[in-house]
Structure 1
Amino acid sequence: MATSMDSFISLSIAPAQVIRGFNVLEQMGDTTAPWSKAFTRLGSRPLVVGGDRTLDLVKPRLKPVFKAHHLASATASYGKDCSEEALRSLQQAGADHHADLIIGVGGGKALDAAKLLANQCSLPVVTIPTSAATCAAWTALSNVYSEHHAFLYDVSLARCPDLLVLDYDLIATAPERTLVAGIGDAIAKWYEASVSSGQSDQTLLIAAVQQARVLRDILFQRSASALKEPGGKDWQEVVDASVLMAGVIGGIGGAQCRTVAAHAVHNGLTHLRSSHDALHGEKVAYGILVQLRLEEMIQGNLLAETARQQLIKFYSAIGLPQTLTDLGLGGVTIADLHHAAEVACLPSSDLHRLPFAVAPSHLMAAMVSTTTPGLSAKSDLSTSYPELRSEVE
């Protein structure tokens, strides 16, 4: 039977190897440990990419590993964003060092920069997350930002990382806020995947959506106790859920299952300077409430209202933002809000994976009424935006 090239789908589902546990990096410096040679099989001249503070934190942990295995390493800072300018600088650093391996250490932007650099240079890449704020350590995807921290586009990579090292001791050095943000980013998988792919009859999409449901339930059940006992059993499970399981869902489901309106709202908000103090997962968590609000307003979806109220209670318990004010955007102007909404509604935006059309005015109305009860928000909208009240009903 003849087939069209359009019927072929390439999925990058998982890293080639995942090593996780306490004191993992320390064990890699012990040449008798089982995973001690994980780096050496990939290269002998690693370039370690991260932010300035992260490199200072991780270098003492990596130095004994490199020394034990006779690896000639160099470091390079990506700056503050995975940007085109930063990538050009990193390419030069890699060429100067004659690097044959890229090691990314840090949060989402550092790991995205390392993965994209490795992809551009056709080199293997190792990811070592220093927080559980995103699933970037897992995925075959990098987000590119402007020099002013605004999201520009994402790049699908040839493969997931060759090695992911999840060292719980290293993750535990990060502020609690980063894990809370990671919970927000991870739980979005259910609300986005169920809308974009919940009606699919394709086996892998069904699997991705169901895994997203399980992920949501794990986070609902364990997040509060995880935050009370860092390093404990529930904490480990929530870290695994945020870094690893969230990545699995994106890998199995592919692009059409990965992001919808919650991430589109994040992308739009990054174009507002006053949003830059909020973490990725915090903006995404707020974006879930916006997405559910859209489902209520435009579709009259009562289940979305129930889900939104459930999330508001959950957010209150663990400290995720529910409103623009919570994100530090309480004083944003109508012009700025309109700009963010226009970016989120661009033709290329993942927001259009919603099963209904959304105009910037609809999105703005949803953004200012995320905690409003019921389908009608006309009487409860912020008095700062009276021109949006008519869009809610």
Structure 2
Amino acid sequence: MTIRTMISPARYVQGPGAIHRLGEHVAQIGSKPLVVADDVVWGFVGHDVEASLSAAGLPVDRRGFGGVPSAKEVDRLVGEITSSGADVVVAVGGGSTIDAVKAAGHLAGVRWANAPTVASTDAPCSALSVIYTEDGEFEAYRFFPRNPDLVLVDSQIVANAPAEFLIAGVGDALATWLEARATSRSGSPTMAGGLPTVTGTALAQLSWDVLWENALPAIDAVRDKQVTPAVEKVIEANTLLSGLGFESGGLAAAHAIHNGLTSVAATHGLAHGQKVNLGSVAQLVLEGAAPSDLREFIEFTTAAGLPTTLTEVGIRPDDADTIRAVATAATAEGETIHSMPFEVTPNDVAAALTSIDRHATRIRNNAHLPTPKPYTTQH
């Protein structure tokens, strides 16, 4: 029997000032929350979180986050949750904080909620966490039996953050349709544990359509810290549509290549979505995409401020050993690249990655877009 699966968070809330209703929604989940946020995030949102929880009659107990969602950090947070006696843990911050909290909440046996302060990844809505080594290298996916009970996004807080976060989210979300399309063609299972539903695949495509129409004006708006209809649509595409689409539509080559890129120390300063975007370019090359499709994707994502070459993620295109290491990691057993509708070998990935720089540079020069500049951690 063919089983198709669609999963989602219990409640999604988005809008300017939504943070002021966090307590109201958390009170429907538990009576003793533990909030996890790093010092930077707490510095600009802590007062509003405290006020909202207090207004809802909830105690305020906040603990810090160590910076990387590693197994060690997850275990530390489990201890914090257990010692506090919390019945719900609330992640306030970016994708790393959220992934660590989801994993810790699951192990501690409590419910969990997410209040992302940026729209840089599709982590907030999913029932999985990406776990890294303490050095920032991809280690494993951890899957949970349920999605978050609440995802609450204050769009003004997102707009107040540096535009680079929203740009990274666009890179992550654009991959959603490319990967869901490949998964649908191959008949492979999704991250939700079944074959893709029509709904999951359609939401993945919708995220793509929303971004192509709204990403560039939204990026311009958040550079001025403004919330416009385009910004609201892009936040939703990056967070909800991409979150549902990747999980219930499927991952394929783009995220596997991202995971391979994390094996290179030079890429560790880059955002998740920046590396995913290069993975999307490589996936299009692997698919033998029409030249016009590849050109349009490179032009659009370059205009958005995303990397489309190895050079921009700190890898020389003539560094065969490093490229081979990325390709080997990307095609490891169990990686999502094996959801492509054809076999993909390390040689295929290495060839695709090596070919990107020359081709993307020519496309960018023809379109009068910036020439790729080498990335360094000090860049």
- The Cα shift of 1:134 comes to 0.9
Go from structure 1 to structure 2 and tell me whether the alpha carbon gap of 1:92 and 1:330 turns closer, same or farther (over 3 Å shift): same
Asked if 1:354 is matched to 2:340, the reply is yes
Q: Which residue of 1 aligns with 2:368?
A: none
Q: 1:244 pairs with 240, 243, 255, which one?
A: 240
Does structure 2 retain, via aligned residues, the 8 Å contact 1:197–1:206?
A: no
- The Cα shift of 1:125 comes to 0.8
Does structure 2 retain, via aligned residues, the 8 Å contact 1:22–1:169?
A: yes
Computing the radius of gyration over CA atoms, which structure comes out larger, 1 or 2? 1
Q: 2:281 pairs with 252, 268, 289, which one?
A: 289
Gap runs ≥5 in structure 1: 29-35, 297-301, 375-393
Q: 3-state SS of the aligned residue for 2:26?
A: coil
Asked if 1:81 is matched to 2:73, the reply is no
Asked if 1:207 is matched to 2:207, the reply is no
Does structure 2 retain, via aligned residues, the 8 Å contact 1:186–1:246?
A: yes
Report Cα offsets for 1:296-352 as digits up to 9, x if no partner: 2xxxxx53x332111011012111101011123338843222222111110111111
Q: Where do 1:318-337 residues align within 5 Å?
A: 318-330=304-316, 333-337=319-323
Q: Which residue of 2 aligns with 1:169?
A: 156
Q: 1:263 pairs with 247, 255, 264, which one?
A: 255
Asked if 1:43 is matched to 2:25, the reply is no
Does structure 2 retain, via aligned residues, the 8 Å contact 1:50–1:111?
A: no
Does structure 1 retain, via aligned residues, the 8 Å contact 2:180–2:246?
A: no
- The Cα shift of 1:273 comes to 0.8
Q: 1:93 pairs with 80, 94, 105, which one?
A: 80
Rounded Cα–Cα distance in structure 2 between residues aligned with 1:41 and 1:147 = 35
- The Cα shift of 1:200 comes to 5.5
Q: 1:135 pairs with 122, 140, 147, which one?
A: 122
Asked if 1:232 is matched to 2:232, the reply is no
Rounded Cα–Cα distance in structure 2 between residues aligned with 1:270 and 1:295 = 23
Q: 3-state SS of the aligned residue for 1:323?
A: coil
Q: Which residue of 2 aligns with 1:391?
A: none
Does structure 1 retain, via aligned residues, the 8 Å contact 2:90–2:113?
A: yes
- The Cα shift of 1:358 comes to 2.1
Rounded Cα–Cα distance in structure 1 between residues aligned with 2:294 and 2:142 = 31
Does structure 2 retain, via aligned residues, the 8 Å contact 1:52–1:79?
A: no
Q: 1:279 pairs with 268, 271, 283, which one?
A: 271
Does structure 2 retain, via aligned residues, the 8 Å contact 1:312–1:371?
A: no
- Range that drifts further, 70-79 or 365-374: 365-374
Rounded Cα–Cα distance in structure 2 between residues aligned with 1:250 and 1:331 = 29
- The Cα shift of 1:367 comes to 1.0
Q: Which residue of 2 aligns with 1:72?
A: 59
Rounded Cα–Cα distance in structure 2 between residues aligned with 1:16 and 1:210 = 20
- TM-score normalized by the length of structure 1: 0.84
Report Cα offsets for 1:221-250 as digits up to 9, x if no partner: 111111122311111111111111112223
Go from structure 1 to structure 2 and tell me whether the alpha carbon gap of 1:44 and 1:339 turns closer, same or farther (over 3 Å shift): same
- The Cα shift of 1:53 comes to 1.7
Q: Which residue of 1 aligns with 2:103?
A: 116
Q: Which residue of 1 aligns with 2:143?
A: 156
Asked if 1:24 is matched to 2:18, the reply is yes
Does structure 2 retain, via aligned residues, the 8 Å contact 1:184–1:285?
A: yes
Q: 3-state SS of the aligned residue for 2:311?
A: coil
Amino acid at match of 2:167: V
| Number of residue-to-residue matches in the alignment | 351
Q: Quick one: percent identity of the two aligned structures? A: 29
- The Cα shift of 1:159 comes to 1.0
Rounded Cα–Cα distance in structure 1 between residues aligned with 2:182 and 2:271 = 24
- Range that drifts further, 192-201 or 341-350: 192-201
Does structure 1 retain, via aligned residues, the 8 Å contact 2:186–2:341?
A: no
Rounded Cα–Cα distance in structure 1 between residues aligned with 2:136 and 2:321 = 19
Q: Which residue of 1 aligns with 2:302?
A: 316
Asked if 1:147 is matched to 2:134, the reply is yes
Report Cα offsets for 1:253-309 as digits up to 9, x if no partner: 3xxx3211100010011111110111000100110111111222xxxxx53x33211
Q: Which residue of 2 aligns with 1:180?
A: 167
Gap runs ≥5 in structure 2: 189-193, 361-379
Q: Which has the higher contact order (CA 8 A, sep 6+)?
A: 2
RMSD between aligned alpha carbons?
2.2
Asked if 1:217 is matched to 2:213, the reply is no
Rounded Cα–Cα distance in structure 2 between residues aligned with 1:213 and 1:16 = 22
Go from structure 1 to structure 2 and tell me whether the alpha carbon gap of 1:373 and 1:332 turns closer, same or farther (over 3 Å shift): closer
